[in-house]
Structure 1
């Protein structure tokens, strides 16, 4: 493995986003957490109030020799709706906003290029509202949120929301899926 990179993505509920990225070749670690808020070491209950400024996110560690930042972000834009402000499906609030929190200038450049391309090409028929910001703060979510889909595949939310996202990833990006 070469030099690993980290990027943090907010695509709605972190259970769904994590469930997708654990299946991606070249992603070496996925952790659910909270990013870019105003409270140090927030709890899930605090973040759910929508008053801390945090976003539910996944922190991805990946090997750029196996998967590019662009590929990471192409997956991101297929498995969530980047056109709805502060919501994903029935999950509503600022903690569910679409966001890319970069840790390198290259990640920022790639993210801004993709958002510009999608808006220019009117890919979604409405503007992409994904925020592209530097990662200012990150805190891991509680242990019971980690690997939630893997531990609870028959839970209602997982079956209705996370499983279809994983299936969509596997169908659209078969070449990037782990065997």
Structure 2
């Protein structure tokens, strides 16, 4: 579409967005009503493109999908009632030594220290340190992971070598 330029100098080509054929997508906040509409539309079986076109013309299909993911994550987190959390706590305490020993043997620290450090740093920090370590590996430079857990080198032995059984009394693989 062409329109006269100001002051009659010539014409300017307008894009479809400028002409209103395709309204620009906006990044406004989602209202509670929008969330309800989104959840209902998805529950009815609609895919993201039809949801965006029908209910949210100013949003992309991807924006609808990402919002739905966040809403589902929030809903799932809220589903952890006291009983479910107590069950998790009981099972965690039953297997914690076994599961942390695997990691502690790899990093050369006592399992209780590895557990405490992982809990202290949290998943996001560990994921970030992992990505950083991967970048360093790709660049052939080895360095500190940034989380305060040392990694054994060729001359360092794990201080977990004295551990020969699981918390339930059974021998670890490779142990007598």
Fold-level match, TM-score > 0.5?
Answer: no
> Relative CO higher for 1 or 2, CA cutoff 8 Å, sep ≥ 6?
1
Which one has the largest radius of gyration? 2
Q: Which one has the bigger strand percentage?
A: 1
Which of the five TM-score ranges fits, normalised by the shorter chain?
A: under 0.3
